Amino acid sequence: MTIRSGLAVLSLFVLAACSRPAPAGRLQYTELQSAAEGRRLTYGLYTPPGWDRTTPLPVVVLLHGAGDDHTSADRIGVVDRLDAAIRDGVLPPFAMVTPEGERGFWVDWYDGSHRYASWVLQDVLADVRANVPTVRGREGLHLVGMSMGGGGGLQMWLAHRDAFASATILSAPILDEDDTRDFLDRFMPRKALERAFGPPGSGGGIDPYRALQRDADREGSRLLFGAASQDIGGLLRSNESFATHLRKRGVQHTFVVFAGKHRWSSWGEVLPWALCKQLRDDCPLKTPNGWRVR
């Protein structure tokens, strides 16, 4: 079972993103020459209200889905919720970076033609840390992903558990590799899949079921994941199965079923709650009515 193969599932269920100009929102956008990709890509940067520009901030990396882009959180009002939570003292101040990921699944492709994970981990984070005072060390770095970004984020976290204080994975598929490939063969050219994920049995990616067999396998990093109560086909069920696997093996985690559907209006509701759990040991937010947490 590899998320690397399962990541592509989301591209079948969401609308293809068009090229959009940076919105007149809260984020600052930087076009950066990517050494990993060999071309210019863009990322957005959120800084908290009232920040003095000198106090170091923890960094949250937000990975978008296949039908979205690096401006999605800015366009859909997610940052307004984050602003309010920081002003109310619910969330501590933090910086959030939103890289451009196209529909690349947030992985370094098997055929070497794209290096989306390296773009984030090497190029983007280095540029942010060079220009913004940030909290150094593991507690200064957190990962959040939605949809395709959740699948890619889980893979990224599994490969770098010692680098991230936490990972928050929302509405991502966690599927058996063989079943996923059988499913995708009905919709996508096999050659296109193999460019990104390799041929069957290539061993690309990290199997989360095998990687997390005991609590020590988290390496002290916190894991929160879940799906919407009306999410797209199979996602909630796959998340529930993964939660059962972790629970049986004593791997600490937070599993949430939140209200809504596979869309930003739902993720915008859950994001402040999830970040409160990940950034604070004493999160004061209560679980909203209708949600299930275990």
Domain ranges of the chain: 3-293
Distance of CA 215 to the CA centre of its chain: 21
Give the DSSP letter string of 55-106. S-B-EEEEE--TT--TTHHHHTTHHHHHHHHHHTTSS---EEEEE--TTSTT
pTM, to two decimals: 0.90
234 vs 250: CA distance, rounded Å = 25
Q: Coil, strand, or helix at residue 28?
A: strand
Per-residue confidence (pLDDT) for residue 10, from 0 to 100: 35
Which of 151, 145, 67, 152 has its CA nearest to residue 103? Answer: 67
Per-residue pLDDT of the chain (294 residues; tens, 9 = 90+): 443 333 333 333 332 333 456 676 899 999 999 999 999 999 999 999 999 999 999 999 999 998 899 999 998 889 999 999 999 999 999 999 999 999 888 999 999 999 999 999 999 999 999 999 999 999 999 999 999 899 899 999 999 999 999 999 999 987 666 665 665 565 567 887 788 888 887 766 788 998 999 999 999 999 999 999 999 988 999 999 999 999 999 999 999 999 999 999 999 999 999 999 999 999 999 999 999 999
Instruction: Dig out the tokens for 4 from the structure.
Output: 């690397």
Q: For residue 114, how far is the Cα from the chain centroid? A: 18
Nearest alpha carbon to residue 106 among 4, 35, 12, 206: 4
Q: What is the CATH number of domain 3-293?
A: 3.40.50.1820
SS3 169: strand
Q: How far apart, in whole angstroms, are the C-alpha atoms of residue 175 and residue 264?
A: 23
Residue 2 is predicted with a pLDDT of: 41
Per-residue pLDDT, 216: 98
- Work out the angle at residue 9's Cα, subtended by the Cα atoms of residues 293 and 20, and round it to the nearest 5 degrees: 95
Place of tokens 């600490």: 252
pLDDT (0 to 100) of residue 178:
65
CA dist., res. 282 & res. 71, Å (int): 31
Nearest-CA neighbor of 27 among 119, 88, 104, 96?
96
- Cα–Cα dist 81/95, whole Å: 14
Question: Quick one: pLDDT at residue 16?
Answer: 32
